């Protein structure tokens, strides 16, 4: 155990940069024993060439500063061997002098003063080579300790690099400063990384061993007693199959039996919070933003209960729900209904945000992208669609499988999606370019998929759970762990901040130990498993203050902190267009009319009238042209070769 821990802990060993100067450095460090402090040493050097000649028998009396510099440069190891030898002799002499009693420090007070003055002057002149070199000699590991580039990468945000690309005249220094500051912050975070208290778990297989052979029994026997207690089975054969949901901090578990049994448990202490039967079929259960409230998708409507089991709300706006998703930062409860509606309800104010008719039938395969709050649906036609509350059409459609999609899951970074279909394929997708990364054939279509915080993927096939570690980086050869249950699986979720995978099935619930699945170090302000009541209340207020509006749900969630070049470009284009729309020149001289109708003003008015008419006609012409262009474009699109995905288009014209 301990050994594995020490191996896992990635403490970065700082190595001295200047390894070539090793020998010299040793020498100086030996000398360091005698020279009390940096300051003191510097004094002595400065005196040596001013007041006392430390090398009286040397032919080259080194009273000159430059001479000293040269010697030191030799010391750093840049000159030929013979000179180095000569220099080493000098060093030994100097050491002797340092030991001897007639140190210049013992000269009277007056000289002390002058010496001080001299040394400060010398130090002030930072460009002084001698000074620099002496510093180098004093510090065996100059500069800051190096930082592991991997850690730097971990803390670096992708959008900060764009700063360098910005080409602008004004504000460039500020941009540069901001960049420097961000880099510094990243460096500090990377440096503070080793202060994190815990290391993630895992299994280390010896040669010839396969982790997939491990049974839960083996894992329980190998780990400590508190971890072992996290593996348990709840036998609930009466009201299954069970859906389940862990709270965001991983502390609480919600179970919903299809036949109406709903229970909330503090699963670590095994304390039951509430248990009831809603006397109706339930389809899904979800915790809301805190563990005092949860939503249950029942036969007809969605209900919200508190942790005592008291019904708080009946949400008739969310009717016939099949799947629930809660977006914690937006306080939105999203439901996919059996009639094909995707509805969002703001639970902080209790109002329906949008309800979209998706155009698909049963929305029973649903998941959210935890990094940008986009909802993913899997459909019977093999497509996966991406939805936000702001757009009435899907943001993206992916044809993932040739047969119906059985499950979808998105990992925590929001970059990868796993889908599985009736065609017995398990596919991994890169959501940044919507391309398939890996494709696996499995025994049967995975009914449920779940990503853990560390990137493990769990898939359920009938009554078997398979766990894949690091599924998207490389092609998996064999599963990480396999677990067989005695009944059909109906719910699957990793517990946050724990090495636990919860499995709901028709005979109850099983909690499995998956070493290395959870994030080892939680952030107390984000999700705290050890939250007290007071902290929870405070956190709720903070969360409500920081509620992100549903309008801000987009595919790219960093868009807000970037410069909107697209709109700006469009604006500029529009403006430029306007400038070039020149007024037509009209040569019109009004006819002469009798009876005072050709006074200056009247003639001018008539002229203006004609002008206006011409302009109006012009505008009409332009609009007509535009309409014609648009029509042609759409016609062209229709005539063109059909795309594979066209068959999934809703509005066929």
Partner 1 sequence: MKIKCLSRNPDDFLRETKRDIHKVPRNYDPKLHPFEAPREYVRALNAAKLERVFAKPFLGSLDGHRDSVSVIRKHPTSLSLLLSGAYDGEVRVWNITKRNCVKSVQAHDGLVNGVCGHPNGEYIFSVGADKQIKQWNITVEGDIQDQPKSTILGRSVFQDIDHHGKDNFYATCGAGVNIWDEERTEPIRYFTWGVDSIHHVKFNPVETNILGAAASDRSILLYDMRGSTPLRKVILKLRSNAISWNPMEAFIFTVANEDYNCYTFDMRKLSIPLNVHRDHVAAVMDLDYSPTGKEFVTAGYDHCLRIFKLDQGHSREVYHTKRMHRVHTVCWSLDDKYIMSGSEEMNIRLWKARAWEKLGTLKSRESTALQYNDKLKNKFGNHPQVRRILKHRHVSKMIFHNTREIRKIREAAKKREQNRMENSKIGTVQYTSERESHVIGEKE
Q: Which of 211, 337, 493, 511 binds partner 1 (CB under 8 A)?
A: 211
Rounded to a whole number of angstroms, the minimum distance from the CB of residue 608 to partner 1 is 19
- Which of residues 3 and 639 has its CB atom nearest to partner 1 in the complex? 3
Q: Which of 370, 382, 479, 502 binds partner 1 (CB under 8 A)?
A: 370
Interior angle at CA 540, CA 317 and CA 545, nearest 5: 85
* CA separation for the pair 383, 405 (Å, rounded): 7
Is-contact 38 138, C-beta < 8 A? yes
With 0-12 / 13-18 / 19 or more C-beta atoms within 10 angstroms meaning exposed / middle / buried, residue 533 is exposed
Q: Which H or E element spans position 2?
A: helix 2-8
- Which of residues 56 and 197 has its CB atom nearest to partner 1 in the complex? 197
**Is position 201 an interface residue for partner 1 (rule: CB under 8 A)?**
yes
* CA separation for the pair 320, 314 (Å, rounded): 12
Site stretch for partner 1 (CB under 8 A), options 29-37, 87-95, 525-533, 644-652: 525-533
Rounded to a whole number of angstroms, the minimum distance from the CB of residue 609 to partner 1 is 25
**Structure tokens belonging to residue 605:** 């008015």
* CA separation for the pair 363, 376 (Å, rounded): 10
Site stretch for partner 1 (CB under 8 A), options 52-60, 438-446, 531-539, 637-645: 531-539
Rounded to a whole number of angstroms, the minimum distance from the CB of residue 342 to partner 1 is 20
Rounded to a whole number of angstroms, the minimum distance from the CB of residue 550 to partner 1 is 11
- Which of residues 88 and 222 has its CB atom nearest to partner 1 in the complex? 222
Mark residues 448-467: x for contact with partner 1 by CB under 8 A, - for none.
-----x--------------
Residue 156, SS3?
Answer: coil
> Which 392-431 residues touch partner 1, going by CB under 8 A?
412-414
* CA separation for the pair 452, 567 (Å, rounded): 37
Q: Which of 3, 13, 33, 579 binds partner 1 (CB under 8 A)?
A: 3
**Is position 548 an interface residue for partner 1 (rule: CB under 8 A)?**
yes
* CA separation for the pair 553, 372 (Å, rounded): 7
**Is position 198 an interface residue for partner 1 (rule: CB under 8 A)?**
yes
Rounded to a whole number of angstroms, the minimum distance from the CB of residue 232 to partner 1 is 14
Q: Which of 57, 102, 546, 582 binds partner 1 (CB under 8 A)?
A: 546
**Is position 380 an interface residue for partner 1 (rule: CB under 8 A)?**
no
Size of the site for partner 1 (CB under 8 A): 75
Q: Which of 230, 259, 313, 611 binds partner 1 (CB under 8 A)?
A: 230
Rounded to a whole number of angstroms, the minimum distance from the CB of residue 357 to partner 1 is 27
Rounded to a whole number of angstroms, the minimum distance from the CB of residue 63 to partner 1 is 44
Site stretch for partner 1 (CB under 8 A), options 203-211, 456-464, 608-616, 640-648: 203-211
Q: How many CB atoms lie under 10 A from the CB of residue 306?
A: 16
What is 92-109 written as a DSSP string? HHHHHHHHSS--GGGS-H
Is-contact 255 263, C-beta < 8 A? yes
- Which of residues 11 and 100 has its CB atom nearest to partner 1 in the complex? 11
**Is position 552 an interface residue for partner 1 (rule: CB under 8 A)?**
yes
**Structure tokens belonging to residue 453:** 């915080």
Rounded to a whole number of angstroms, the minimum distance from the CB of residue 485 to partner 1 is 20
- Which of residues 47 and 219 has its CB atom nearest to partner 1 in the complex? 219
What interhelical angle do 65-75 and 81-99 show, nearest 10? Answer: 110
Tell me the HSE value of 495 on the side-chain side, using a 13 A CA sphere.
27
- Which of residues 278 and 527 has its CB atom nearest to partner 1 in the complex? 527
* CA separation for the pair 439, 22 (Å, rounded): 53
**Structure tokens belonging to residue 480:** 């990480």
Residue 326's alpha-carbon distances to 214, 343, 348, 352, in angstroms, are 35, 12, 12, 14
Q: Which of 65, 557, 606, 611 binds partner 1 (CB under 8 A)?
A: 557
- Which of residues 213 and 617 has its CB atom nearest to partner 1 in the complex? 213
- Which of residues 81 and 546 has its CB atom nearest to partner 1 in the complex? 546
- Which of these, 556, 327, 559, lies nearest to 431 by C-alpha position? 556
Rounded to a whole number of angstroms, the minimum distance from the CB of residue 10 to partner 1 is 14
- Which of residues 50 and 536 has its CB atom nearest to partner 1 in the complex? 536
Is-contact 362 346, C-beta < 8 A? no
Q: Which H or E element spans position 604?
A: helix 600-639
Q: Which of 73, 182, 277, 371 binds partner 1 (CB under 8 A)?
A: 371
> Which 138-167 residues touch partner 1, going by CB under 8 A?
154-155, 157, 159
**Is position 212 an interface residue for partner 1 (rule: CB under 8 A)?**
no
Mark residues 310-339: x for contact with partner 1 by CB under 8 A, - for none.
-------------------x----------
Q: Locate tokens 């450095």: which residue?
A: 25
Q: Which H or E element spans position 328?
A: none
Q: Which of 63, 132, 192, 361 binds partner 1 (CB under 8 A)?
A: 192
Is-contact 372 395, C-beta < 8 A? no
**Structure tokens belonging to residue 383:** 């497509």
Interior angle at CA 643, CA 641 and CA 646, nearest 5: 120
3-class SS string, 468-524: ECCCCCCCCCCCCEEEECCCCEEEEEECCCCCEEEEEECCEEEEEECCCCCCCCCCC
**Is position 391 an interface residue for partner 1 (rule: CB under 8 A)?**
no
- Which of residues 236 and 553 has its CB atom nearest to partner 1 in the complex? 553
> Which 93-112 residues touch partner 1, going by CB under 8 A?
none
**Is position 502 an interface residue for partner 1 (rule: CB under 8 A)?**
no
- Which of residues 241 and 515 has its CB atom nearest to partner 1 in the complex? 515
Rounded to a whole number of angstroms, the minimum distance from the CB of residue 369 to partner 1 is 10
* CA separation for the pair 633, 41 (Å, rounded): 83
Is-contact 322 302, C-beta < 8 A? no
- Which of residues 32 and 519 has its CB atom nearest to partner 1 in the complex? 519
**Is position 536 an interface residue for partner 1 (rule: CB under 8 A)?**
no
Site stretch for partner 1 (CB under 8 A), options 200-208, 314-322, 398-406, 462-470: 200-208
**Is position 519 an interface residue for partner 1 (rule: CB under 8 A)?**
yes
What is 113-129 written as a DSSP string? HHHHHHHHHHHH-TT-H
**Is position 530 an interface residue for partner 1 (rule: CB under 8 A)?**
yes
Q: Which of 11, 19, 36, 226 binds partner 1 (CB under 8 A)?
A: 226
For 250, phi and psi rounded to 5 degrees? 80, 10
């Amino acid at each position: 155990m301990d050994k594995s821990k020490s191996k896992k802990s990635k403490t970065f060993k700082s190595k001295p940069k200047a390894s070539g100067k090793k020998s010299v450095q040793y020498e100086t460090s030996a000398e360091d024993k005698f020279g009390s402090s940096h300051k003191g040493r510097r004094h002595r050097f400065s005196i040596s060439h001013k007041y006392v000649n430390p090398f009286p028998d040397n032919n080259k009396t080194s009273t000159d500063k430059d001479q000293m510099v040269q010697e030191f440069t030799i010391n750093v190891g840049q000159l030929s061997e013979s000179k180095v030898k000569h220099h080493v002799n000098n060093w030994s002499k100097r050491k002797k002098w340092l030991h001897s009693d007639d140190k210049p420090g013992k000269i009277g007070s007056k000289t002390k003063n002058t010496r001080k003055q001299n040394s400060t002057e010398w130090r002030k002149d930072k460009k002084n080579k001698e000074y620099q070199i002496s510093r180098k000699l004093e510090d065996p590991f100059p500069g800051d300790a190096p930082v592991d580039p991997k850690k730097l990468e971990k803390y670096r945000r992708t959008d900060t690099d764009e700063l360098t690309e910005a080409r602008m005249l004004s504000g460039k220094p500020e941009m540069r400063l901001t960049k420097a500051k961000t880099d510094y912050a990243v460096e500090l975070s990377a440096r503070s990384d080793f202060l994190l208290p815990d290391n993630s778990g895992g299994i280390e297989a010896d040669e010839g061993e396969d982790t997939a052979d491990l049974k839960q029994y083996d894992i329980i026997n190998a780990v400590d007693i508190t971890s072992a207690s996290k593996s348990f089975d709840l036998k609930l054969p009466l009201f299954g199959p069970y859906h389940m949901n862990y709270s965001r901090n991983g502390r609480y578990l919600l179970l919903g039996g299809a036949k109406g049994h709903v229970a909330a448990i503090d699963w670590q202490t095994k304390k039951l919070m509430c248990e009831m039967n809603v006397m109706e079929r339930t389809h899904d259960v979800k915790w809301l933003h805190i563990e005092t409230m949860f939503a249950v998708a029942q036969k007809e409507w969605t209900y919200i209960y508190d942790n005592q089991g008291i019904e708080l709300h009946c949400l008739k706006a969310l009717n016939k729900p099949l799947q629930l998703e809660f977006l914690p930062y937006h306080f939105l409860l999203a439901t996919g209904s059996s009639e094909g509606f995707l509805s969002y309800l703001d639970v902080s104010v209790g109002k329906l945000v949008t309800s979209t008719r998706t155009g698909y039938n049963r929305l029973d395969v649903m998941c959210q992208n935890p990094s940008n709050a986009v909802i993913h649906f899997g459909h019977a036609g093999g497509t996966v669609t991406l939805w936000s509350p702001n757009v009435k059409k899907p943001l993206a459609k992916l044809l993932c499988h040739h047969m119906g999609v059985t499950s979808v899951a998105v990992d925590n970074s929001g970059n990868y999606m796993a889908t599985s279909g009736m065609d017995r394929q398990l596919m991994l997708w890169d959501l940044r370019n919507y391309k398939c990364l890996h494709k696996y054939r499995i025994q049967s279509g995975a009914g449920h998929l779940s990503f853990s915080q560390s990137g493990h993927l769990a898939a359920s096939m009938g009554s078997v759970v398979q766990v894949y570690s690091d599924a998207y980086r490389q092609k998996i050869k064999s599963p990480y762990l396999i677990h067989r249950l005695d009944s059909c699986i109906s719910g699957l979720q990793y517990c946050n901040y724990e090495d636990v995978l919860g499995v709901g099935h028709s005979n109850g619930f099983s909690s499995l130990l998956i070493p290395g699945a959870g994030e080892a170090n939680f952030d107390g302000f984000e999700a705290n498993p050890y939250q007290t009541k007071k902290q929870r209340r405070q956190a709720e207020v903070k969360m409500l203050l920081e509620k992100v509006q549903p309008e801000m749900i987009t595919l790219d969630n960093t868009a807000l902190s970037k410069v909107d070049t697209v709109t700006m470009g469009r604006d500029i284009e529009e403006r430029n267009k306007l400038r070039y729309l020149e007024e037509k020149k009209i040569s019109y001289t009004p006819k002469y009319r009798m009876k005072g109708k050709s006074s200056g003003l009247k003639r001018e008015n008539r002229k203006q009238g004609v002008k206006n008419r011409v302009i109006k006609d012009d505008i009409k012409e332009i609009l007509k042209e535009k309409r014609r262009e648009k029509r042609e474009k759409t016609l062209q699109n229709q005539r063109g070769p059909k795309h594979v995905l066209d068959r999934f288009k809703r509005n066929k014209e």
